Amino acid sequence: MPVAVIDIGTNTTRLLVAEPQDGEVVELERRTVITRLGQGVDATGRLAGEAMDRVAEAIAGYRELIDRLGAEKVVAVATSAMRDAENGPAFRDYLREKYGVDARTISGDEEARLTFLGATAGRNDDRDTVVIDIGGGSTEYVLGRAGEDPSFHTSTQMGSVRHTERFLRTDPPKQEELQALAEDVRRIVPELAAAHAIAVAGTATSLAAIDGAEEPHGYRLGLAACERITAMLAALPVSERRDVKGLHPDRAPTIVAGAVILTESIRALGLELAEVSDRDLLHGAARAA
């Protein structure tokens, strides 16, 4: 029987409909809508009305698709923006009453655990691996080995939407803004001894696509490529960034901050590259359902 997983994130609202088979998660349908629920939350502590409207519209479409595919079990999780917003509980109540989607706000620790499960499941790799999950409002770092419980995890108050709003106030951003952003990232990235990194979520898959990857999953994204792409994106105003090949136009306003976070994370971890994966929280939640 198919299971549906909805992830209500700070920047995107995502859906995975999958069929668990012999310990694997077989995708039937996957959708992503950039809804920017975290718009202004860092400054106001509340979800904006227009942001909630965007999420509700996405959920309405997902509800129709879930019913059409016959997924009787629906797991919905909400992350950073919902955790931080004063009116998050009221919005969750609305989604449950209107669409029958009972979103559970998970902690940063639970988000990290599920992301690691999704990113490393089925891998034959005994190296110490750090999973980097750059979201809109938080970034998770999870260290461990495939098939084992993580040995370390942390959820930070650092994300592509949050750090765009905190640091990048001009378009295109000034060099001093970029430097301040990079310095803050370096201050936050934990000191970890890892032989390998897996980068998940939209920032990583976007940079892989910009770098020319036909299939982002499994792409080896080098530090030098991250530096080059970040510099290119930061030099463009948002209007021109929307036309960059491989970048979804709706990611243009926040991709620079996300790219800086990924670049500085790889550098701080002492690695030369990160492997990109499109298996993340959605797949982990589907496995745990």
The DSSP secondary structure of 249-280, one letter per residue, reads GGGTTTHHHHHHHHHHHHHHTT-SEEEEES-S
**Contact by Cβ (8 Å): 254, 165:** no
* CATH of range 123-281; options 3.40.718.10, 3.30.420.150, 3.40.1650.10, 3.30.70.330: 3.30.420.150
At residue 265, the pLDDT reads 98
Confidence of residue 1 (pLDDT cuts 50, 70, 90): confident
State how beta strands 24-34 and 73-78 pair: unpaired
Read off the tokens for 233: 């994106």
Given a cut of 70, whether residue 139 has pLDDT beyond it is yes
- Residue pLDDT, tens place only, 106-115: 998 898 889 9
The percentage of the chain sitting over the pLDDT mark of 90, rounded to a whole number, equals: 88
Task: For residues 137 and 40, give the distance between their C-alpha atoms in angstroms, rounded to a whole number.
Answer: 11
Please give the average per-residue pLDDT across 281-288, as a whole number. Answer: 90
Annotate 10-68 with DSSP letters as a single string: SSEEEEEEEEEETTEEEEEEEEEEE--TTTTHHHHSS--HHHHHHHHHHHHHHHHHHHH
Global pTM? Answer: 0.90
| Contact partners, residue 120, CB within 8 Å, separation at least 6 | 129, 131, 144, 145, 146, 147, 198
- Residue pLDDT, tens place only, 64-116: 999 999 998 999 999 989 999 999 999 999 999 999 999 999 998 898 889 99
Query: Which residues pair with residue 196 across a beta bridge?
Result: 129
**Among 57, 64, 69, 68, residue whose Cα is nearest residue 27:** 69
Given a cut of 80, whether residue 23 has pLDDT beyond it is no
Least confident range of 19-28, 76-85, 131-140: 19-28
HSE-up of 63 (CA within 13 Å, CB side)? 15
Confidence of residue 142 (pLDDT cuts 50, 70, 90): very high
- Residue pLDDT, tens place only, 237-280: 999 999 999 999 999 999 999 999 999 999 999 999 999 999 99
At residue 108, the pLDDT reads 83
- Backbone dihedral angles phi then psi of residue 172, each to the nearest 5 degrees: -70, 165
At residue 9, the pLDDT reads 93
Given a cut of 80, whether residue 26 has pLDDT beyond it is yes
Q: What is the mean pLDDT of the chain?
A: 94
Given a cut of 80, whether residue 22 has pLDDT beyond it is no
**Contact by Cβ (8 Å): 192, 126:** no
Task: For residues 146 and 30, give the distance between their C-alpha atoms in angstroms, rounded to a whole number.
Answer: 24
Confidence of residue 21 (pLDDT cuts 50, 70, 90): confident
Given a cut of 80, whether residue 212 has pLDDT beyond it is yes
Given a cut of 90, whether residue 122 has pLDDT beyond it is no
What's domain 3-106's architecture?
Answer: 2-Layer Sandwich (3.30)
